[in-house]
Amino acid sequence: MTRGPHWEQAPDRDQKPELNLFGTDPLSEDAEPTLDTVIVGGRIPVGERFEEAAIGIRDGRIAAIGSDAALDRHARARIDARGLWILPGAIDGHTHMEAPAFGAQSADSFESGTAAAAAGGVTSIIDFTLGTPEIPLGRQIDLRRQQATDAMVDVALHAEIVTSEQARLEEIRSAVRAGVSSFKHYMIYGERVDHGALLKSFRAIAAAGATAMVHAEDQEVVEAATKQLRRCLPQGMMSLPRSRPTASEAVAVSVLVCLAELTGAHVHVAHVSTAAAVNLIAAAKRRGVAISAETCPHYLLLDEEVYKSENGRQFSVVPPLRTAADNAALWDALSCGAIDTVVTDHCPFPRSAKDRPPDPLQAPCGLPGVETMLSLVFSFGVRTSRISLSRFVSCVSSRPAQLFGLSPTKGSLQIGADADLTLFDPHAAWVIEAGALHMNVDFSPFEGWKLVGKTRSTLVRGRPVFRDGEVLAAPGWGRFTPRHTNRDVPKKETP
Ligand SMILES: [Zn+2]
């Protein structure tokens, strides 16, 4: 790109900035430095291509996009991004930092988990309140925000709805006003809300213009499959996928499609793992149902065969890992947009916690992922041509921002957007080793995997939080990001 820079006053946060990469307002030749930082020598995504462009940052926001020569002389500091892609920072829409789960506590605090996020090019996470039936939603949000004060990247929250209590449903509007505009339900576990309660909750959520997020596994199907297994010989870790068969997800998703259609609520299906669920979601989308979906790197890249290995119980996760055919269907769905986003469901436990229970099925379920997501999706999605470059940028950044009310402040390279940027080296070859990562856990499900593509540097609101292997952010630099509602979420992806 060689034309002159575009330059304008950063708009108010609530105003949608115009995307204009090729504006022609020239900067004055002899102007004083008016940018805090300029990133030169890199390339930015424009559709399916990358184009040379410099990015100027002022007051934590993108203030100019233009040529290196035009912007360089206006900046107080410069970052050399030669050979690197400048991506809108990745947004991990599903994490569980320092959260109680399965009788244990996930191993990453907000501090260590967001340090790992920074190292992996993730500039925002969306975590969860700790749903409690007796505590008002507003209080739950405050408590979780206090826990997250040491974060190094920005943090937003989904609120867990773990009860059909009318009082909690009446608090949905005030939670939305507090910047929490999506509400997570479980169709399984002790926190389960039944179909009647889902219906009531979806109506309240639709009225507030918010999003209903759901963990979709059908309790009755799982119970029947588990009972059946008890009559068979012990099957070790293979009991996990067999006790939670494909039908458990498909039945749950079919209920969600029905309830989404009846209530008009935007329903977001968490961590989709099966081809059967993908087909139901794709068909519902074609009919115009307001439904969206996410999957995780482990459902794209691992299958149930790992449960037969010596290390099998380290891979315990729910929904469980599926088959190679499911992997392939998920990639296809990600490619065409039937699945909107990739998230990690980051919920790590140390090896010792998974090894401790005598019954492998009692091992706490959850996997680490926030630090490796971007490189895995690039390496095994883009480089293998399973997904396009534009889908890559979309599924890890712009689409989660659109779906969850962070756009256009997050998830875009637009004038006025937060300068949340990932400087990504598409040629760097590296090998995943749990011991070399920043996550507070001694296991990676991708240990020893060879990747190409690595985050070199990460900026959150203009400040470098990670550079060349080193986390630079001070705990507390990350801040709570209030989200708006989905009233203007495009059903289909917008570029
Ligand atoms: Zn989760």
pLDDT one-digit tens code per residue, 327-351: 999 999 999 999 999 999 999 999 9
| Residues carrying CATH 2.30.40, the chain | 6-83
Question: Buried b vs exposed e over 269-281: b needs ≥16 C-beta within 10 Å?
Answer: bbbbbbbbbbebb
Residue-level pLDDT at 457: 98
In CATH terms, the fold of domain 90-403 is TIM Barrel (3.20.20)
Rounded to the nearest 10 degrees, how much is the dihedral formed by the CA atoms of 194, 196, 202, 208?
-120
Q: What is the pLDDT of residue 492?
A: 57
Work out the end-to-end distance of the chain between its first and last CA atoms, rounded to an integer number of angstroms.
Answer: 19
CA of 365 to the centre of ligand 1 (A): 10
Q: Compute, in angstroms, the gap from residue 344 CA to the centroid of ligand 1.
A: 8
Q: What is the pLDDT of residue 69?
A: 85
Separation of CA 94 and ligand 1 centre (Å): 6
What is the total residue count of the chain? 495
Q: Which CATH architecture has domain 6-83?
A: Roll (2.30)
Cα 22 to ligand 1 centre (Å): 41
How many angstroms separate the alpha carbon of residue 422 from the centre of ligand 1?
25
C-alpha 24 to ligand 1 mean position (Å): 46
CB distance 123 to 462 below 8 Å: no
- Secondary structure string (H, E, C) spanning 143-183: HHHHHHHHCCCEEEEEEECCCCCHHHHHCHHHHHHCCCCEE
CATH 3.20.20.140 placement within the chain: 90-403
Ligand 1 mean position, distance from CA 95 (Å): 6
Alpha carbon distance 485, 206 (integer Å): 10
Instruction: Collect all residues with Cβ–Cβ distance below 8 Å to 495 and sequence separation of at least 6.
Output: 47, 390
Distance, in Å, from the CA atom of 238 to the CA atom of 304, rounded to the nearest integer, reads 7
Which residues fall within 8 angstroms of residue 44, CB to CB, at 6 or more apart?
A: 21, 50, 51, 53, 55, 65, 85, 86, 87, 413
Task: Tell me, in angstroms, the distance from the centre of ligand 1 to residue 134's CA.
Answer: 21
Other C-beta atoms lying within 10 Å of the C-beta of residue 472: 17
pTM score, whole prediction? 0.93
What's the 215 CA to ligand 1 centre distance in angstroms? 8
Ligand 1 midpoint to CA 2 (Å): 45
- pLDDT score for 1: 32
Query: In this predicted structure, what is the pLDDT of residue 217?
Result: 98
pLDDT digits over 131-161, tens only?
Answer: 988 999 999 999 999 999 999 999 999 999 9
- DSSP-assigned letter for residue 476: T
Cα(318) to centroid(ligand 1), Å: 9
| Sign (positive or negative) of CA dihedral 23, 29, 33, 39 | positive
Is the preceding peptide bond at 319 cis, omega within 30 degrees of 0?
Answer: yes
* Bridge partners of residue 460, in order along the sequence: 463
Residues (pLDDT < 50) of the chain are 1-28, 30, 494-495
Span from the CA of 280 to the centroid of ligand 1 (angstroms): 21
